[in-house]
Amino acid sequence: MRNDRDSKTTKIEIRHLYKIFGPHPEAMLEHVHAGMGKSELMETHQHVLGLSDINVDVKEGDITVMMGLSGSGKSTLIRHLNRLIDPTAGEVRVDGENILDYDERQLRHLRRNRMSMVFQNFALLPHRTVRENTALALTVRGESRADYEQEAARWLDRVGLGGSEEQYPHQLSGGMQQRVGLARALASNAPIMLMDEAFSALDPLIRTDMQDLLLELQEELSKTVVFISHDLDEALKLADHLVILKDGYVVQQDEPQRILLEPADDYIVDFISDINRARVLRVRSVMRAEGEARGGVTGEIGPEETLEEVISKSGGDTSCSFLVQQDGRKLGVLDMNDVMRALVPTGASEHGLRSRASA
């Protein structure tokens, strides 16, 4: 099950992180601490509030998705994790060490050995072959050609590009180029993968394939992944922990299932109002841990099955009840009445309805 977050080790700690863009960012902190928001700071002082008091724990082996609309601060945030951007205030700790204290040598080691990055625009070197692009981190480390060629071939085969080693990026489709980018990140053998809108430039079908591939690889490798997205469907599909940002601050963060069932405010309510809940919500989030099935048991289901799968198994019969089991152990029961109640979304806020009506 994917909800045992409390038992996992924290890999990255983000504490009271602020980023203000402009000529005098430190001087602007006082205004932000006093409650000044993004629009007011820009109008009054011509400074941009990129991030405001961000506190996030990234757990080892999880996919943590940070998402929001354009200007929410998500891409700014991920660039703090490998110090492509330095904050105005706050801490970023990796394995307990504040990386803001790192010197150039320590920072190079972090980027080369402990973190890899997959970019939206693929970022492949056009004059290098697919093999050479995949082995880039290994060659920078000084590994022998025999070693890096073997490792590159292994990961290219793993992402479905075996036999493409001698081709150049311009000979590949966009989806194939992104597979090379993913293979390059995996070949580095870094325990942390940063993925900045990695699939957003791809066609919908290819994008779905890449999401499935990432989940398949994650099941095997258990990397610590920080994934940036503006797409809620993608975020809900991939995330073990979801962080939703707006105007540089965190509106809500939690397991995706809980965010859907317990939205924190009207912004989140509006944000999730059009989601296909049956495709996203899982049995474990809706089942009853105690009690007996109503009218007898129709069948058995697993805790990670979606409500869409349960509806299919029920054949649309609302009198059905299921026993929820995992590894031969009873976890709870699920009646179709529970499923129907879970599918009724929290109503869109009045603010959201007014906004849509005036659009």
Q: Is the pLDDT of residue 139 over 90?
A: no
Q: Is the pLDDT of residue 317 over 80?
A: yes
Q: Is the pLDDT of residue 291 over 70?
A: no
Burial of 295 (0-12, 13-18, 19+ CB in 10 A): exposed
70 φ, ψ (degrees, to nearest 5):
-55, 130
Burial of 289 (0-12, 13-18, 19+ CB in 10 A): exposed
* DSSP per residue, 148-211: HHHHHHHHHHHTT-TT-TT--GGGS-HHHHHHHHHHHHHHTT-SEEEEESTTTTS-HHHHHHHH
Q: Is the pLDDT of residue 90 over 70?
A: yes
Q: What CATH number labels 277-343?
A: 3.90.1280.20
Residue range 65-90: mean pLDDT, rounded = 95
Structure tokens belonging to residue 300: 């058995």
Q: Is the pLDDT of residue 352 over 50?
A: no
Q: Do 194 and 12 meet the contact criterion of CB atoms below 8 Å apart?
A: no
Residue range 307-313: mean pLDDT, rounded = 93
pLDDT range class, residue 87, cuts 50, 70, 90: very high
What average pLDDT does the chain have?
A: 89
User: pLDDT tens-digit profile of 157-185?
Assistant: 989 999 899 999 999 998 899 999 999 99
Tokens 């979606």 map to which residue?
Answer: 306
Q: How many helices (H) and strands (E) does the chain have?
A: 17, 13
pLDDT range class, residue 356, cuts 50, 70, 90: very low
Paired strand residues for 321: 335
Structure tokens belonging to residue 280: 């996203």
Question: How far apart are the C-alpha atoms of 51 and 16, rounded to whole Å?
Answer: 10
Starting at the edge strand found earlier in the chain, the sheet holding 48-59 runs 48-59, 10-21, 89-94, 97-98
Question: How far apart are the C-alpha atoms of 197 and 226, rounded to whole Å?
Answer: 10
- Return the half-sphere exposure (C-beta side, CA atoms, 13 A cut-off) of residue 173: 7
Which CATH number, 3.40.50.300, 3.40.50.880, 3.90.1150.10, 3.10.28.10, labels domain 5-254?
Answer: 3.40.50.300
User: pLDDT tens-digit profile of 248-269?
Assistant: 999 999 999 999 999 999 999 9
Share of the chain above pLDDT 90, in %: 68
Q: Do 74 and 228 meet the contact criterion of CB atoms below 8 Å apart?
A: yes
Is the fold of 5-254 the same as that of 277-343? no
Question: How far apart are the C-alpha atoms of 74 and 56, rounded to whole Å?
Answer: 12
Q: Is the pLDDT of residue 309 over 90?
A: yes
Q: Is the pLDDT of residue 357 over 60?
A: no
- Domain positions in the chain: 5-254, 277-343
User: pLDDT tens-digit profile of 184-228?
Assistant: 999 999 999 999 998 888 888 888 999 999 999 999 999 999 999
Question: How far apart are the C-alpha atoms of 159 and 187, rounded to whole Å?
Answer: 11
pTM here is 0.87
